[in-house]
Amino acid sequence: QKVHVLPQTVLYIADAETFSGHEECHEQKKARKRNSKETAIALEKLLPKRCQVLGLVTPGIVVTPMGSSSNQPQEIEEGEAGFALLFPKIDGVKIHTFHFSKDLKNRVFDESKFAEAGLKNNPDLRVVLLFGYNSWKSGATRFLHQIVNPLNEKSIILAGGQVESFTSLTSENSSAQPGDACGVVGLAFSGPQIQSATVLLDQDVADERTAEAAMQRLKAANIPERNTIGFMFACVGRGYRHYKTKRNMEADAFRKFFPNVPLFGFFGHGEIGCDRIVTGNFVLRECNDIKDDLLHGYTTVMTLIHFGSTK
């Protein structure tokens, strides 16, 4: 008997070359450049219609082939590559996509939109993955601060970075096209059984020893490895250039300490995150009034998300 598990939420990430490559045009018998929306539509036709979808375009990706612990995670900084994470219904876990675009008429962000997205008045909110787009546009950094600052709570893991664009149709606000404004898209994970932790690898992490020391900090969070996924959000300035031509340094360090956790992510234009732990005991950290610095450059953010024990 075949058992089919339909995805309810999909996160797919591909590098820019994949989304702006060439395809053969049969009418004219020559290759033509396809646009990212065409590629996105073709991808999303493969998914259930009621599925929440978030698609991102980035300069490079991090992927564990087939999501299998038998495969090494790979940092792919050049060439065409991409992946899709398909989340089924998980007992006790809610996953929501959201999209906030900058309103050109108002300088102040309407925080009531947080409640609509499940990011406010939600005691079960545990993890928010945030992705800014069109970060080069005027006011983009200020807008990102308006989104991040109200969510900067010790009881919530925030992680992500700046991407080149987003292509998803289901999380897109029809009144604001991605090309016309800057904004933030993301996934919110809610559920009392979720445990999570992040560590920030700053510019001083520049060799195998310091990269592994950062992974030891993440390991010390004691997040269960079963039913857990890892995310890596790195600056385009890191990778093999930062580690003096040695490739896959950070992904290999992660694999050494988490041999059974698949790792996914991207190389982008700025990182979101800090050292923070949220567990079943809620917060393993003294709460104070000092807000963490969450926006960075030339860093890597490593994140673990545990979805609870499987029956």
Q: Domain spans of the chain?
A: 1-18+48-310
Residue 245 pLDDT:
74
Residue 26 pLDDT:
45
Residue 107 structure tokens: 């300088």
Residue 36 pLDDT:
66
**256: enclosing H helix or E strand:** helix 249-257
Distance CA 272, CA 233 (A): 8
Residue 97: name the closest of 200, 16, 172 by CA: 172
Looking at the DSSP bridge assignments, the partners of residue 196 are 278, 305
Report the 10 Å Cβ neighbour count for 143.
24
Is residue 201 a contact partner of residue 299, using CB atoms and an 8 Å limit?
A: yes
Q: What is the β-pairing status of strands 74-76 and 300-306?
A: unpaired
Residue 4 pLDDT:
65
Residue 95: name the closest of 175, 213, 194 by CA: 194
Is residue 99 a contact partner of residue 13, using CB atoms and an 8 Å limit?
A: no
Sequence-distant (≥ 6) Cβ neighbours of residue 162 within 8 angstroms: 131, 132, 133, 135, 268, 269, 270, 271
- pLDDT below 50 — which residues of the chain? 22-29, 32, 171-178, 281-288
DSSP designation for 141: H
Residue 232 structure tokens: 């890596």
DSSP designation for 90: -
Residue 111 pLDDT:
81
Residue 43 pLDDT:
79
Distance CA 167, CA 135 (A): 15
Residue 290 pLDDT:
60
Distance CA 154, CA 282 (A): 9
Whole-prediction pTM:
0.88
Helix, strand or coil for residue 296? strand
Residue 207 pLDDT:
93
